[in-house]
A = this chain, B = another copy of it.
């Protein structure tokens, strides 16, 4: 790497200005943002991103999956593209940093390369991937780019088909356009992402940068515990087949089992839907929204079997029927060694401490990991808060992360 490149830094004030403009779109009263995929606020954020790219002199690009990007070509039109990116959608009532920081840092990196007239051997692209968070499908835009998206993923999305159709219509997309967004393997030089950690490990260790070793996989199910609707006053406790009991026992015991037998994994019951859902009716059905994560494929298979067995046992214990609906999975992904080394070298050159970390959260990089070299870095999350308005990262940490992202892109794009 040339000496000239190693002294290049992003413009912290310019990045902060863009970050704050974006954070104001869909802002909630408690300093968070509410921008689920293709909500009004999300569409407004997408429009702002497009206009911001165009007004800053970069080329705006989009594809059939609704991914938006800024493009900075190199001299060789046949050179592959190094994508930097993240996502502008949020979970409901989420935070300002998750996704948004990565997109703003990627955009700032392109602005910095452009204003410094740096000649790289790759095209650079700063990308906002569609529906990372899973309001509709999850990792949707990146799966489409990777060519992993299948018609059946769109037929049975975890947010429901109706919601997906509504959302795609609002964004001018269709099933067919989604499936057309795949890129050729040879067109990609790699994918780099800066993200907040969403955990407490960097903060506890007092370390500047986490270099991701692997992204955990995610499997999700809808488990329906089915009993019998009965009068909640006149039916004796013994005579009830109360669906809430199976759902409650499963929720408690799944947590205990994962903590005891699967220490590298996590499980979440994010929602229960009660039917008919009245004070004075014994619940006939409770639908449990279940998700679990593992960094290892073999462990996933064991955990899946153990959770379904537990659900069946708890249904039987309370005289209930169990129905299981598999809603989809993302496999665990290892990060590329050469990209990890580029991040580590960049940290060292910038005088920043770093440590290897697995990612407990899913990220778009996992879609792309078998297509091109993929790497991620984390910056510290204050108190580990995430998917919450309490989400916060100190601005100097955001700037550190953006400089590491830029430096790693320069190293990889110059090689």
Q: A residues touching B (Cβ–Cβ < 8 Å)?
A: 91-93, 98, 133-134, 158, 197-200, 216, 218, 220, 228-239, 242, 244-245, 247-249, 251-252, 255, 258-259, 266-272, 274, 276-284, 289-291, 293, 359-362, 384-388, 390
Contacts and interface: CB of A to CB of B under 8 A. Distances in A.
Please report whether the interface of chain A is mostly helix, strand, loop or mixed according to DSSP: loop
Given A200-B239, A272-B244, A228 B281 contact: no
B266 A236 contact: yes
A274 B272 contact: yes
Contact of A197 (B234, B237, B244): B234
B252 A93 contact: no
A18 B314 CA distance: 45
A259 B238 contact: yes
Nearest to A135: B278
Given A248-B248, A269-B244, A360 B279 contact: no
A-B CB proximity, top 9 nearest? A198-B234, A248-B248, A232-B268, A231-B386, A234-B360, A233-B361, A229-B388, A233-B360, A199-B234
**Copies of this chain assembled into the complex:** 2
B268 A280 contact: yes
B279 A271 contact: yes
B268 A385 contact: no
B92 A277 contact: yes
Nearest to A385: B230
B266 A233 contact: yes
A362 B259 contact: no
Contacts of A228: 388, 390
A305 B289 CA distance: 32
5 contacts: A228-B390, A229-B387, A236-B360, A237-B255, A237-B259
B158 A220 contact: no
A191 B268 CA distance: 52
B230 A281 contact: no
B232 A387 contact: yes
A324 to B, nearest CB: 15
Contacts of A216: 233
Contacts of A384: 230, 234-235, 239
Given A134-B280, A271-B277, A289-B279, A266 B232 contact: yes
A204 B233 CA distance: 18
B266 A270 contact: no
Contacts of A276: 91-93
A274 B270 contact: yes
Contact of A359 (B234, B235, B249, B279): B234
A254 to B, nearest CB: 10
A235 B235 CA distance: 41
B278 A92 contact: yes
A245 B236 contact: no
Contacts of A198: 231, 233-235
A359 B233 CA distance: 8
Contacts of A266: 232-233, 235-237
A279 B158 contact: yes
Contact of A279 (B220, B229, B237, B279): B220
Contacts of A98: 231
Given A252-B248, A270-B280, A280-B133, A232 B291 contact: yes
B268 A234 contact: no
A93 B291 CA distance: 31
Given A279-B291, A280-B291, 18 more contacts: A92-B278, A93-B276, A133-B280, A199-B231, A216-B233, A218-B280, A229-B388, A230-B386, A231-B387, A232-B293, A234-B360, A235-B360, A244-B251, A244-B269, A245-B251, A248-B249, A268-B282, A281-B388
